[in-house]
Structure 1
Amino acid sequence: MLGLGTIAKKVFGTPNDREVKARRPLVEKINALEPQFTDLTDEQIIEKTAEFRERLAKGEALDDLLPEAFANVREAARRTLGLRAFDVQLMGGIFLHQGNIAEMKTGEGKTLMATFPAYLNALTGRGVHIVTVNDYLARRDAEWMGKVYAALGLTTGVVYPQQPEQEKAEAYGADVTYATNNELGFDYLRDNMRMDLDEMNQRDHYFAIVDEVDSILIDEARTPLIISGPSEDRSELYKTIDTVVPSLSDEHFTIDEKTRNVTYTDEGNEFLEQELLRQGILPEGQSLYDPESTTLVHHVTQALRAHKLFQRDKDYIVRDDEVVLIDEFTGRMMSGRRLSDGLHQAIEAKENVSIQPENVTLASVTFQNYFRLYDKLGGMTGTAATEAEEFAEIYKLGVIEVPTNRPIARVDEHDAVYRTAKEKYDAIRETIEEAHKKGQPILVGTTSIEKSEFLSQMLKERGVPHNVLNARQHEQEAAIVADAGKPGAVTIATNMAGRGTDIQLGGNVDMKVLEALATDPEADPAALRERAEAEVAGDKKKVLEAGGLFVLATERHESRRIDNQLRGRSGRQGDPGRSAFYLSLEDDLMRIFGSERLDNVLGKLGMKEGEAIIHPWVNKSLEKAQAKVEARNFDIRKQLLKFDDVMNDQRKAIFGQRLEIMESKDVNEIVEDMRHQVIDDLVDFYIPARSYADQWDGEGLYAAVIEKLGVDAPVIAWTQEEGVDDSDIRERLYKATDEFMAGKAAKFGPEQMRRIEKQVLLQTIDAKWREHLVTLEHLRSVVGFRGYAQRDPLNEYKNESFQLFESLLNSLREEVTEKLAQLRPLSEEEQKQMLAQLIEQQRALQGAEAGAQPGAAPAAGPQAAAQPDGAGETAVAEVGRNDPCPCGSGKRYKHCHGAVTA
């Protein structure tokens, strides 16, 4: 009997059916325009683009232009690529333009589909980003679809790692830019570390179309992009803290060996506080519970872990003045591998060897927060429906399944469950041999490199020719996938491998032509293509007779999406195909979710060795298990995002402030406001509100004014005058400092002074933000323990990070004011000394940067303007702004040390 829900769906249709039905009239409208656009000349197609832009400028909406714009793209693609877009591709393009994820099966033409919304949105002149999962696909798609955009009068760019700056700027300046998610994220961070507006590459975050959207926005959502560089040397701090830990007794801490965690008890915290105060590590009047102590608490916790959880000759060895980790599974040394978050340094201090500096985060962002910067987002994938809730909640993206152009003819078999892994692999090998003999191509999906190589070894022993596709063969990915549809081909792949390249039955014509041209460059391409098409047509016939592509999966993944992706490799464009999953009770997923009970049942049924249980109930129970794991992973991602959102608000504020400073021609007003705020803080501190004149600390204020403001004003005499109040002293200090800084500007020259002010502001913001990121990392690592005290760790993190941010802004004002107050022009002799020091520092930095991540900037470089005596009016005359910097960095002087000294 049918359930009520099923009956309702039959009568009213599913929500997805209604969405698809609602777009059909728009598709019919585009089709009706086709004859009109077929009659246009190539020049008229380009002229249409100019006409659309003009209409947009006059106030017409993109939605009004959609039918004509899509008809124009369809005609351009037909002429340049010989591909006429199907109605389902037009429909998918409409969904993308409207800010949704279009779920389309493999081989339905997602790459071409993206050109429709990309063209329409590029008409605004704000640029469209098309995001792919790897550099190969970004280059391939940009070259392939670039022909369509060129025929429409648009420019195309591609962004890739280690790209020359000029080329990268041009790529971002194009109408449509293809790039990987990693490169886009790193460029965003690099842009927000620039010192000059002209050096920024990303001009706007208007519209992004994300290919393989589930891989980028779900699977990689927890991976932060980090640009790091060497930090300042803290070896003395590690050594001093290390002297405290041996004096702790058992009541001062607790150890949880299961989770490899240590925590201090209340007695331990009290003892530590007294000890750190006595040694002068903890400032007087500051407690370990204060937000300012977060970094210190982190270091003392790491020191305790180093002493109590890590044992010499078990977890690590000491060799040649170096702590080398030992792999707990193999017992081998892991040279070059280091523990993060200062733990390795804590072990080095414990063993009294040289302490290597930590890498410090200069800038970081998660994919979740990067892609939420865009005004509008669209996505394409073959598998998104199972994660629809997450896409809706985090990214405000709807998921709509676009119908296939032809009905799916693939046969999906029920899972076969064996008792042991050995029985499963024996059955897999027999199935592969059988398919190979009858000429059916087979794609075998494995969950790891290790398993793909184990299966490869089994087939080698039986003499079965095959290809292996995993991370070690990623360069040959396209070539291996192109051959995977040939008669009798056996391809063993890790589950994610080969995405973005279709497996075409009989082989890939384009690949055959390229291979033939590589062998004989003088051959006629047209003749080669004709021969390749004939070969592929013959091979395709054989494969179709053998049953199409057979996808055999050797294990269920934690996520149903990954299984569906693998299954979707077969049955492309209505082709016949077959898919099957071979499992065993020893597989991770089966083992974790109650395989003992199933093992007992199978035993009672008297199953013989090599037999499998095949039943729809098994499929249902496995799907439920996978849904549970997916829900748990979603909760983890959601919780991480809540923490990252706190930092993201602060990141936006800092990056926004930097941009404002870079866009300003004159930052004098900002600097003046900062200086006046510092004066207010000093007066409030030394002349407290509602206090009597004899309680004022005139001497303290005088000393602070000289130190912070660089002005020798008669503050003590002012505080002793009759009838003077705090507002009078403020006004006098404003006037004295304004005159002092005006005199300094006259010495340097107004233009030079404005440039120095801007550089000092940007450098100080960057230095403070770097320190703040480290403190937030440390706070996040310890805030979880607040849960034991019935306090919500997220609220605690929000409150304390806000206090830390306020403290950052206060210290920023002070530091900028102090640095500018201490500036003075250099003498000729001092200039020579400074340049010599810069060259030495640069050499040292280049050595230190060798181990930094791609795109890393030095954390503590020579910042001459940020130091007393750091800027000189004659430095510019000696070294031209466009000359190579004398420090040897290879950059122009104005982009290197000239950015500071000039």
Structure 2
Amino acid sequence: MLGFGTLTRKVFGTPNDRKIKATRPLIEKINALEPEFEKLSDAGLIEKTEEFRKRVAEGEALDAILPEAFANCREGAKRALGLRAFDVQLMGGIFLHQGNIAEMKTGEGKTLVATLPAYLNALGGKGVHIVTVNDYLARRDADWMSKVYSALGMTTGVVVPQQPDDEKREAYAADITYATNNELGFDYLRDNMKAELSDMAQRGHNFAIVDEVDSILIDEARTPLIISGPSQDRSDLYVTIDRFIPEIQDSHFTLDEKQKNVTFTDEGNEWLEEQLHARGILPEDQSLYDPESTTIVHHINQALRAHKLFQRDKDYIVRPATGPGAQGENEVVLVDEFTGRMMAGRRLSDGLHQAIEAKEGCPIQPENVTLAQVTFQNYFRLYDKLAGMTGTAVTEAEEFQTIYGLGVVEVPTNRPIARKDDDDAVYRTADEKFAAIVETIKEASEKGQPTLVGTTSIEKSEYLSQLLTQAGIKHNVLNARQHDKEAQIIADAGRLGAVTIATNMAGRGTDIKLGGNVDFQIMEAIEANPDADPEEIRKKIEAEHDADEQKVKEAGGLFVLATERHESRRIDNQLRGRSGRQGDPGRSAFFLSLEDDLMRIFGSERLDKVLSSLGMKEGEAIVHPWVNKSLERAQAKVEGRNFDIRKQLLKFDDVMNEQRKVIFAQRREIMEAKDLSEIVADMRHEVIADLVEQYMPPKTYADQWDTEGLYAACIEYLGIDVPVIDWANEEGVDDDDIAERLEEASDKLMAEKAEAFGADTMRQIEKQILLQTIDGKWREHLLTLEHLRSVVGFRGYAQRDPLNEYKSESFHLFETMLDSLRTEVTQKLSQIRPLTEQEQQAMVQELAAQQAAQQAALDQATAESEARTVAELEGGFDENDPSTWGNPGRNEVCPCGSGKKFKHCHGRVV
């Protein structure tokens, strides 16, 4: 008997089915317009764009123009690229325009889909941002799709790191702008550190289409974007503490693998105190619980996390530093948990990276202090409308809806998926599992079926590689150690009988074609035989490829074999999605054991009992749909827990975000204002009111006033020497009279300064002092909030809600910051004076000397950069790919070619 839910779905369809059905009339309209738009000349397509722009300017809704705009865009793409959008691509474009996430499988042409809603939404003249996961894709997609936009009379821009400011502003001024999520976020922060409106690059946040939306808005959203500067060096303390961490016993700490947390026990704290006293790190009369011990406790906790939570060759690798001046030293490079790629230049914050460097005996880079920061969640929520594309989003639909207000719609594939997905095979031990994997790979390889083997860490990929070598199976390995060969390995992964072991690197931005990548093979052959006729080579290789592709299809297509399940179902689905592209045949299978991390941590006891009761022999596996369901439930629980963690972090960041909006809005008002004299005068009068209240409290007698203190404060903060003490002794004078006289005296002083400087110069000085003071105070406030965030969790032990405590204290801190801002601006303005002729000459000379020194350093840096580029190009160096840069020193020139020091360029990301 059917359940009520199943019956309802059969009668009415799923919510997803209903959304897809609702787009059919629109698609029919677009298709009906096709003959009309095919008759238009090339100039006619551009005239249509101008017509649409005019209609939007006159108030016509974009939804009303959609069928015509999509028809025009499809015709433009057909002429410019030879690609005609399928109905399912039109459907994806409609969902994106509506502000949804379109889940479209690998190979369904998402890049082309984005042009449809981008074109439509750019008609309003406010710009559209298309967001990619790396600079290579931003450049590639902008170059490729600009042909479409150009055919329609629209401009395209691309934003990449280290662009000259003029180019960057021009890119943002274009109708459609391609950029990475990182660069967009950093430009937002940089814009709000600028002193002039004309220097700002971004012109607003109208509509963004985020490619690989789950990677950007979920995976990468755990770490905020930070612009930072160097702080004090504490390298010795990290090394000293690291020396005794390996001596810690199991009874000294508790490790929670589910929560990814490690803490000291009471016994561990006692042992620590003994060690710290004995080594002279902690004074004899000081306890770990004293406020003075906070820094030491923080360093110890980070050292414990470095040793117990972070594993070499899984979370990070240690490799020789290859940059100029490295002198054979090693460096710690993080490995992306989701893609398996090295994250060159990315560092763990809060001293954790330094603790790992101490653990591995690498040179310790100094910590950084935050100058500005924003999370991806709060940056992308700035947009009036947001949309996204990916092959895997449904499992995170709740998070997308809760955090970003984005619905997820599954778009049907153009051709039915022919891939066969096997049920999971669960073995008792890892050894049994790997033995079965080797045997399965051997069988697939012998019949010519290409196999892509997914592993969760570098260590496991290399272990499996050893087993395959022992079994005499030829294969390639793709992990963070072989990143430079990635293009070659992926190009060969679909060849007849090929075996490729990969970490999750094969999950993004790659297209594994059956029979191998024909373009790559042609390019290789031409390079190997430059004298031969390129056309002959192309014909020969294409004929061979067609034959190989047919053989691979007959062998069953690409076989994706996963050696473990990831915590997130999305990552598993990404790996599966490498196979079965555009209706190709394929197969996927997951081989698991009870010793796998997911199974071990999230309850394999029941399954172990089931396997034992079945009396399974060694090497046998349990294969059943129920096992799949059980594992998916475990993964869903982990995903839910991770979502709760991100949601909680976001609640804390939202508090800072509200304050950030206030500060950034104030900065913008100051930059837009022509005359700030009234604002500055109001600030000065508020400071006077505060001073009078402080030294002459309300409802007190004259003999209780501290007039001497007020006199000194007037000189210090207002720059006026007035007879406050005499005024206070006058008959009938109260605090309001004193405040009024002080306002008159200070207003007179500032009027004299304005006359001495000239009105225009004074207005400029006021603007610069206001902006500089706001920026300085905001930086200090960020640091204070960081410290508050790190300790407020302990309030929970006192039955107080940490979030509410954080909200109230941060609000109080913000008010205090604004008060001190008024005081500091008033004090600085009261102290300025025109320079004498000699002082002006000295300043001009000093500036000229600084500029000469900077130019000399830049010339030297450019020469070093060019010399290194020539040398490194031979080793596969690519200035657009940070993973090929080796290990640039913090004070050396950035390999990207900007001429800036690495620490001020790509190396500044924490």
Question: What band does the TM-score fall into relative to the shorter chain?
Answer: 0.7 to 0.9
Equivalent in the alignment of 1:458: 467
Matching of residue 100 in structure 1 with residue 93 in structure 2: no
- What's 1:687 paired with? 696
Q: Which residue of 2 aligns with 1:547?
A: 556
The residue that corresponds to 1:739 in the other structure is 748
What are the equivalent positions in structure 2 for 1:350-369 lying under 5 Å apart?
A: 358-369=367-378
Q: Does residue 1:590 correspond to 2:599, yes or no? A: yes
Q: Which runs of 5+ in 2 are unaligned?
A: 241-251, 256-261, 270-282, 284-288, 321-328, 333-346, 358-362, 859-897, 901-910
Match of 2:681 in 1: 672
User: In the aligned structure 2, how far is the partner of 1:228 from the partner of 1:846?
Assistant: 24
The answer for the alignment partner of 2:792 in structure 1 is: 783
Task: Report how far residue 257 of structure 1 moved.
Answer: 6.5
Equivalent in the alignment of 1:750: 759
Further displaced range: 793-802 or 115-124: 115-124
Which residue is 2:895 aligned to? none
Other-structure match for 2:815: 806
Please give the alpha-carbon distance, in whole angstroms, between the structure 2 residues aligned to 1:623 and 1:388.
16
Q: Distance in 1 between matches of 2:24 and 2:454?
A: 37
- Native 8 Å contact 1:477 1:498 kept in 2: no
Question: Partners in 1 of 2:615 and 2:443 — Cα distance?
Answer: 27
1:635 aligns with 644
Q: Compute the displacement of 1:14 (Å).
A: 0.5
Contact kept in structure 2, 1:230 and 1:848, CA below 8 Å = no
| Separation in 2, partners of 1:453, 1:20 | 45
TM superposition shift of 1:302: 2.1
Q: Tell me the equivalent position of 1:196.
A: 196
| SS of 1:557 mapped into structure 2 | coil
Q: How does 1:84-95 map to 2 (within 5 A)?
A: 84-95=84-95
User: SS in structure 2 opposite 1:711?
Assistant: coil
Higher deviation after alignment, 823-832 or 28-37: 823-832
For residues 446 and 112 of structure 1, the distance between their equivalents in structure 2, rounded to whole angstroms, comes to 31
Q: 1:332–1:549: structure 2 CA closer, same or farther, 3 Å change rule?
A: closer
Q: Residues 507 and 574 of structure 2 are in contact (CA less than 8 Å); yes or no, is this contact kept in structure 1? A: no
Question: AA paired with 2:554?
Answer: E
CA contact (8 A) 1:303 1:343 kept: no
- Which aligned pairs between 1:338-487 and structure 2 lie closer than 5 A? 341=350, 358-487=367-496
| 8 Å Cα contact 1:99-1:378 kept in structure 2 | yes
Q: Assess if the C-alpha contact under 8 Å between 2:378 and 2:657 holds in 1.
A: yes
Question: How far 1:298 moved relative to its partner?
Answer: 7.2
1:620 to 629, 641, 645: 629
Q: State the Cα distance separating 1:308 from its structure 2 match.
A: 10
Q: Which deviates more from structure 2 when the two are superposed, residues 338-347 or residues 632-641?
A: 338-347
Distance in 1, matches of 2:499 and 2:352, equals: 46
Please state whether the residue corresponding to 1:220 is helix, strand or coil: helix
Identify the residue that residue 572 of structure 1 maps to in structure 2.
Answer: 581
Within the candidate set 719, 726, 735, 1:717 is matched to: 726
Distance (Å, rounded) in 2 between the aligned partners of 1:525 and 1:663: 59
Deviation at 1:636, TM superposition (A): 0.4
The counterpart of 1:503, out of the listed 488, 496, 512, is 512
Change (3 A) 1:526 1:298: farther
Write the distance in 2 (CA, Å) between the matches of 1:603 and 1:847.
74
For residue 696 of structure 1, report the CA deviation from its aligned partner: 2.4
* Aligned partner of 2:263 among 260, 269, 272: 260
8 Å CA contact 1:85, 1:112 repeated in 2: yes
CA drift of 1:605 comes to 2.7
| 2:222 match: secondary structure | coil
Matched, 1:149 2:149: yes
Tell me if structure 1 keeps the 8 A contact 2:424–2:589. Answer: yes
Contact 1:104-1:404 within 8 A present in 2 as well: yes
Q: 1:342 to 1:138 in 2, by over 3 A?
A: closer
Q: In the TM superposition, what are the counterparts of 1:48-197 in structure 2 within 5 Å?
A: 48-197=48-197
- In 2, the alpha carbon distance for the partners of 1:720 and 1:601 equals 94
CA distance in 2, matches of 1:11, 1:27: 24
Residues 344 and 458 of structure 1: CA distance in aligned 2, closer, same or farther (over 3 Å): closer
Query: CA contact under 8 A between 1:88 and 1:405: conserved in structure 2?
Result: yes
What secondary structure is seen at the aligned counterpart in 1 of 2:374?
Answer: strand
Decide whether aligned partners of structure 1 residues 601 and 339 sit closer, same or farther in structure 2, where only a CA change above 3 A counts. Answer: closer
Change in Cα spacing, 1:94 to 1:598, as seen in structure 2 (3 Å) is same
Task: Tell me, in whole angstroms, the C-alpha distance in 2 between the residues paired with 1:428 and 1:790.
Answer: 52
The answer (yes or no) to whether the contact 1:260–1:309 under 8 Å persists in 2 is: no
Give the Å deviation of 1:24. 0.6
Amino acid at match of 1:205: H
- Tell me whether 329-338 or 155-164 shows the greater mean CA deviation: 329-338
| Cα drift, residue 561 of structure 1 | 1.0
8 Å contact from structure 2 (residues 506, 575) kept in 1: no
Q: How far apart in 1 are the matches of 2:29 and 2:146?
A: 26
The correspondence of residues 802-841 of structure 1 with structure 2, limited to 5 A, is: 802-831=811-840
> Which digits, 9 at most, give the CA deviation of each residue in 1:365-406, with x for residues without a partner?
111111111111001111111111111111000001111111
Shift of 1:96: 0.3
Give the residue type in structure 1 aligned to 2:796. G
Q: CA deviation at 1:570?
A: 1.1
Q: Distance in 2 between matches of 1:297 and 1:386?
A: 46
Conserved in 2, the CA contact under 8 Å of 1:303 and 1:347?
no
- Give the corresponding residue for 2:497: 488
Shift of 1:452: 1.9
Write the distance in 1 (CA, Å) between the matches of 2:364 and 2:461: 41
Inter-partner Cα distance in structure 2 for 1:749 and 1:232: 42
Query: Matches of 1:57 and 1:491 in 2, distance apart?
Result: 54
- Separation in structure 1 between the aligned mates of residue 853 and residue 254 of structure 2, nearest angstrom: 41
What one-letter code is carried by the residue in structure 1 that aligns with 2:496? Answer: P
Is 2:234–2:366's contact at 8 Å kept on the other side of the alignment? Answer: yes
- Say if 1:262 and 1:305, in contact at 8 Å, map to a contact too: no
Cα distance in 1 for partners of 2:290, 2:771 equals: 30
- Counterpart amino acid of 1:301? T
- CA contact 1:307–1:347 (8 Å) conserved in 2: no
Is 1:303 paired with 2:296? yes
- Give the whole-Å Cα distance in 2 for the aligned partners of 1:616 and 1:791: 46
Task: Report deviation, 1:46.
Answer: 1.5
- Could you say if the C-alpha distance between residues 422 and 533 of structure 1 is closer, same or farther in structure 2, counting changes exceeding 3 Å? same
Equivalents in 2 of 1:30, 1:178: separation in Å?
26
Q: Distance in 2 between matches of 1:478 and 1:329?
A: 22
Measure how far apart 1:790 and its partner are: 0.2
Q: Which amino acid aligns with 1:471?
A: A
Q: CA deviation at 1:752?
A: 1.7
**Greater displacement, 359-368 / 223-232:** 223-232
- Paired letter, 1:651: R
Cα distance in structure 1, aligned partners of 2:189 and 2:591: 45
> Deviation digits for residues 615-655 of structure 1, max 9, x if unmatched?
11111111111111011111101100000000011111111
Q: Rate the CA distance shift 1:696–1:215 in 2: closer, same or farther, 3 A.
A: same
Preserved contact between residue 319 and residue 331 of structure 2 (Cα < 8 Å): no
Residues 476 and 122 (structure 1 numbering): CA distance in 2 closer, same or farther, change over 3 Å?
A: farther
